[in-house]
Every structure is written in C-alpha cells, then in structure tokens.
Structure 1
C-alpha cells in the first residue's frame, strides 16, 4: 500500500465519534511510526558506539537543554541517579560525553556532550525534531500540551499494564 493509501486507511478509521474508532486508528498508526523512527540512520561517526534508546533520551536532554548534573538528568529521565551515572560513565569512556567540575561547587560534576560529537548527535536527532515541529506547528499551545499529556497518559497506562 502506498503512503497516501496507508494514511487514508488510518485517517478513515479515526473519524468516528466513538473512542474505539480513534483507538483503532492509533493501533494501526503506532507500529508504522515506530518502524519509521527506527529507520532514522545513526550517523557514521556514532555507529561504532552501539548507542541504545536509553542513550538517545539522555543525549536529547543535553542537546536541547545544555549541560547539567547527574541528578538533574536523573530527574528528567525519571530514573535513579546511579542509573544515570552508569550511562554517563559509559558515554564518557566512549568520548561522547564530558564531565567537568561545577565552578560553583567543585564536588558536583557537570555533564555535557563532547564538542567534537555534537554535530553527529545533532544530525541524528534533527529528523525527528523537524518532524515533530512540522506536526505540532498547526496546533495551538493548549492543543500541543493536550497532545503531550495524552502521550504521557498512554505511556503510563501501557507501563501499568506491564506491571499487572
């Protein structure tokens, strides 16, 4: 089926007034979205590092929000600081991240993307960021927030199903 045919098939089943129509549309759409995201190629400069999705989230925060501490990263990723420390240690050994002392408190370490790796990481994240900007651009700020909140609620519901 062509992309336009796939799109029409999914759009057609979400137009009903009933939540089941929207659920059906999303169940058809989500695997395709995930499949397409997985096809975004890892830049050549990063391929030898065997990066995983957990690295992508951490790198996204550092790229978009700038350098931060392990505790700040842990809070944003919603994981334990020890988990972030392990990820940072791994990426630091690979030369992807740098740790430096915080000038305000020499006991704390600030984590940042190594300057020589930043172009490759930016190139890796750019297609997804551009796609989200295009998809979200026509929405109002309230609609964008509703969309994000809906995805978070879905994630929580799926996470709860895994624990049952």
Structure 2
C-alpha cells in the first residue's frame, strides 16, 4: 500500500470510527449530564487507574489543572465524582468515581475497551506499540497544524 493509498483509507475510516464512538449509547444514569469527549477521557483514567489527584489528571490529559478542577467540580455537583482529602497531604484532593455511578461508567467504557482489546490482542507487543505511537504522532501533528 502506498502512502497516498494509506492516507485515503485513513481519511475514509476516521470519520466512521468517530461516528461509531459517538453513537455508543450513554447509560441511563449518565444521560442528561451533557458529557463531552473530554469527560469520557477523564472518566476513563479514573476507571482504569483508580482515584487520582487533580494534578495527576491534568498531567495525563495534558490540560491545565484549572480545566480539570472545573470538570471535576461539575461532575461532583452531579454526584458522578467524589473529592476527598489526601491523607498524605491535606491540601490535595483525591478524585474518584462515585459508587452510584461506577457501574454505569464501566458499562459506557466497556464497548470501546472490548473492541480495542479484541483488536490489539491479536497483535504482537511491537505492533501494538506501533499503533499507539502512530495515533499519538497523528494527534501531535494535528495539534501542530491547528496552531498555524
């Protein structure tokens, strides 16, 4: 496959992937919360890595801590997240998924996680690393071009 053929294939594939991801049904417990893709990423980190501080979430999502604080505040007001003092440093807050929403969030994330698991399990570790590196590089180049 030539580079031009691969580019064409990706240009046709990406909108379908995004469209399918957007059509994944939001569990009833989360409907009406006006969740955006940024919320999904934040919830995914908390789901798969467990409770984190605002700073840790900001580092992982590569956004300012104030942005995370606003998102966490909004989701906390809806009862989706909890914020508790860090016993090691009382100035910090540990953010976690509220128990009442844990099952709904796991359900929402499971469709994408299952699909990725099925696809990536069939690959070698090197092939998986190449896919992840390629997606990160694509994101970085898009960001670079968005700034020009």
Q: TM over 0.5, yes or no?
A: yes
Among candidates 36, 46, 54, match of residue 38 of structure 2: 54
Among candidates 114, 118, 129, match of residue 145 of structure 1: 129
Deviation at 1:162, TM superposition (A): 1.2
CA distance in 2, matches of 1:23, 1:120: 37
CA distance in 1, matches of 2:95, 2:58: 12
Q: Does 1:125 align with 2:125?
A: no
TM-score, structure 1 normalization: 0.88
Match of 1:35, SS? Answer: helix
Deviation at 1:137, TM superposition (A): 0.9
CA distance in 1, matches of 2:18, 2:32: 23
Q: Any unmatched runs of 5+ in structure 1?
A: 1-15
More strand by share: 2
Runs (4+) off by over 3 Å: none
How many residues in Structure 1 have an aligned counterpart in Structure 2?
148
Q: Does 1:112 align with 2:109?
A: no
Deviation at 1:141, TM superposition (A): 1.0
Q: CA RMSD in A?
A: 0.7
CA distance in 1, matches of 2:11, 2:114: 24
CA distance in 1, matches of 2:102, 2:34: 17
CA distance in 1, matches of 2:102, 2:42: 13
Question: What residue number does 2:84 align with?
Answer: 100
Higher relative contact order (CA 8 A, sep 6+): 2
CA distance in 2, matches of 1:106, 1:32: 46
Match of 2:89, SS? Answer: coil
